[in-house]
Amino acid sequence: MTVERAIFAGGCFWGVEYYFKRAKGVLSTSVGYTGGHKDNPTYQEVSYDDTGHAEAIEVTYDPTVTTYEDIAKLFFEIHDPTQVNRQGPDVGEQYRSEIFYLNDEQKKIAEKLIQELKAKGYRVATKLTKAGSFWKAEDHHQDYYLKTGGTPYCHRFTKRF
């Protein structure tokens, strides 16, 4: 089976994971940290130190069932891509909206979707950055809402496409 990966940062990684876990064609998710300058950061460091990392999610999906474009559209519809360094009540650089593209095709698709949103009047703050290292978060952060039975407090689905 062929699998592909995508990496997104859209605020608290628990809420982003909650929606991606339910998406058609998604095989697995891992929450973690990326985009910063500290190797193997901890949640505490990302939350309170200047690591430069964002809370992010790595999505593994089956490209015969879904596409990167569909996955990226979902990303834009489960968080507010117009907010800078925050999502709802969560404030800080670690909660920024950013797509970490793994290849030129992902970058082109993300650029196209951002232009579509801007054409609809959205002031998109989402950054596009070439992916670097993805550091998996501590085990208790993985599948957080599945483990706790909770639901996201700062993410909700909003149809934008």
Residues serving a catalytic function are 12
- The amino acid occupying position 88 is G
- The total of other beta-carbon atoms located within 10 Å of residue 123's CB is 10
| Strands, E assignment, the chain | 4-10, 26-34, 54-61, 86-87, 90-91, 97-101, 127-130, 135-136
- The amino acid occupying position 133 is S
Instruction: Select from 23, 54, 24, 27 the least CA-distant residue to 38.
Output: 54
Residue 77: strand, helix, or coil: helix
